[in-house]
């Protein structure tokens, strides 16, 4: 193939018009990944056998003149902390380097039924802990727009793969911004659904009260199409809910291609997201994007989310606490990495095995968060740190509840800066501050999307749109509206 399609609609039309076969399309993407992976390091493993088999099935349907569904034959990449049966799931860690998934995650099961082509597993910060994809045991991913810079994290491989057109769409996971922040850095669209909107069954757990699987793509329409397939209740995840079809808050236009228009849409701008810490040029760019919304007739009002300043501290107490519990299962006994007999002393006991396994299997950032989480849960500190953080989390959620009594959606910057240089942030705290604008929505369990809103010195910036819990459709529609007017 001379040119790869840009989005789901273009790919679908090409398949049904027989401009290319699904097998030809799939092989073109696989060849592109193999050619470019040394440069960008977007993929940890390819699922080539699976992809070829899926592509042949789509071609057989087309050959027999069966109607194919919109997502059949669409090449997708999967973050390597989401299980695909029969293929490795490393979570970017040496401790799971040779672990092969024995079942499909629910989202993979649903995508397979929809007929997508799974190309491979993308790179990530180890166990999804990071904001740059520099923490992977398999090397850093490079930003395709500037290979001296990070793609963001932890879903950096997925965002970079979409940006480099190594797939049409991708799946990532978002705990404190891990879909939205890399989407902003790579100039693509990234959507974190409401907590409970998408099943976490088959997602390697990091922080169970925060983790959420979501899609990345070049357009909001593509992201919505994937979300519509993976969303909904799952008996294997008790936190999931059935999302009822919501009435559109935006009216449809007529003539030619239907266009969204605002209908009494009220947009909130929180002052706390435009204070100190944000790059002045990022602020200017986002303010211009907000002005675009105003031109559509939406009412723009200033709001306050007073506990925003505590969000990073709350997140980095609660998340490590859950990490310390979830990662206790990696002990060198049941599965995953285990030191060899030569690496253990002759008189070693069970504790020695645990310590050696974790020291050799986990990277620095994972060990740091386990230690921090164990500390805040320990006797004498639980009340001072963990319990207090949970109370402030409730206050953050209440801030959003009050705001959404006045406004339909909230607009903020996705990140305070553009993509930073690889190796630039050596202090963990400065890295953690990358989540300053994405963390609050995660703590409150709200749907939030990052859409490209401009560039700074050639590098993309993102506009974040946040909506009330389970109003995922409204957030997606608002993002599509912005794409039409920007």
Give the catalytic positions in this structure. 79, 154, 178
- Beta carbons within 10 angstroms of residue 31's beta carbon: 11
| SS3 per residue for 161-181 | HHHCCCCCEEEEEECCCCCHH
Q: In terms of DSSP H, where are the helices of 327-414? A: 350-361, 364-377, 388-403
Q: Are 473 and 248 in contact (CB under 8 A)?
A: yes
Rounded to whole angstroms, the Cα distance separating 452 from 184 reads: 6
309: number of Cβ within 10 Å: 13
Strand ranges for 239-392 from DSSP E: 250-252, 260-262, 266-270, 299-303
Which distant-in-sequence residues (6+ apart) come within 8 Å of 255 by Cβ? none
Q: Are 270 and 410 spatial neighbours (Cβ–Cβ below 8 Å)?
A: yes
Q: Are 418 and 279 in contact (CB under 8 A)?
A: yes
Q: Please give the angle made by the CA atoms of 35, 129 and 120, to the nearest 5 degrees.
A: 30
Residue with token string 């294997």: 236
> How crowded is the C-beta side of 441, counted as CA atoms within 13 Å?
37
CB within 8 Å of 164: residues ≥ 6 apart: 36, 40, 42, 144
Look at strands 169-174 and 212-217 and give their pairing: antiparallel
Q: CB-based contacts of 119: which residues, under 8 Å, 6+ apart? A: 26, 29, 30, 33, 43, 46, 47, 51, 75, 76, 77, 166, 167
Distance (Å, whole) CA 83 – CA 100: 9
Structural contact between residues 463 and 480, judged by C-beta atoms closer than 8 angstroms: no
């Amino acid at each position: 193939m001379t040119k790869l399609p840009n989005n789901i609609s273009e790919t679908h039309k090409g398949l049904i018009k027989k401009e290319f076969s699904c097998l030809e399309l799939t092989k073109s993407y696989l060849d592109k990944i193999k050619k470019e992976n040394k440069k960008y390091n977007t993929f940890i493993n390819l699922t080539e056998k699976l992809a070829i088999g899926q592509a042949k099935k789509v071609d057989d349907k087309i050959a027999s003149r069966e109607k194919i569904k919109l997502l059949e034959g669409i090449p997708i990449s999967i973050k390597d902390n989401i299980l695909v049966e029969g293929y490795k799931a490393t979570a970017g860690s040496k401790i799971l380097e040779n672990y092969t998934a024995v079942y499909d995650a629910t989202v993979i099961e649903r995508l397979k039924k929809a007929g997508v082509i799974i190309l491979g597993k993308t790179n990530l910060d180890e166990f999804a802990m990071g904001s740059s994809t520099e923490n992977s045991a398999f090397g850093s991913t490079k930003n395709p727009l500037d290979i001296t810079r990070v793609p963001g994290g932890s879903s950096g491989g997925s965002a970079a793969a979409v940006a480099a057109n190594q797939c049409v769409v991708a799946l990532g996971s978002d705990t404190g911004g891990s879909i939205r922040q890399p989407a902003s850095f790579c100039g693509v669209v990234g959507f974190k659904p409401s907590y409970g909107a998408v099943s976490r069954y088959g997602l390697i757990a990091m922080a169970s009260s925060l983790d959420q699987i979501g899609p990345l793509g070049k357009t909001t329409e593509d992201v919505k199409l994937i979300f519509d397939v993976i969303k909904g209740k799952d008996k294997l995840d008790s936190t999931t809910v059935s999302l009822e079809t919501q009435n559109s808050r935006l009216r449809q236009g007529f003539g030619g291609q239907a266009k969204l228009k605002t209908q009494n849409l009220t947009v909130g701008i929180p002052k706390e997201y435009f204070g100190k810490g944000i790059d002045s040029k990022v602020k200017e760019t986002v303010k211009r994007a907000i002005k675009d919304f105003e031109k559509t007739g939406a009412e723009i009002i200033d709001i306050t989310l007073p506990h925003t300043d505590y969000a990073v501290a709350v997140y980095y107490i609660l998340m490590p606490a859950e990490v310390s519990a979830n990662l206790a299962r990696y002990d060198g006994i049941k599965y995953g990495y285990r030191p060899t007999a030569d690496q253990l002393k002759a008189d070693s006991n069970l504790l020695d095995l645990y310590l050696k396994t974790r020291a050799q299997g986990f990277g620095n950032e994972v060990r740091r968060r386990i230690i921090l989480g164990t500390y805040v849960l320990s006797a004498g500190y639980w009340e001072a740190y963990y319990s207090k953080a949970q109370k402030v989390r409730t206050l953050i959620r209440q801030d959003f509840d009050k705001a959404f009594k006045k406004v339909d959606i909230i607009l903020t910057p996705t990140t305070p800066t553009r993509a930073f240089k690889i190796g630039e942030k050596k202090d963990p705290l400065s890295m953690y501050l990358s989540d300053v604008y994405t963390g609050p929505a995660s703590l409150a369990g709200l749907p939030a999307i990052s859409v490209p809103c401009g560039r700074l010195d050639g590098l993309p910036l993102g506009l974040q749109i946040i909506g009330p819990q389970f109003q995922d459709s409204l957030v997606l529609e608002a993002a599509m509206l912005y794409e039409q007017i920007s």
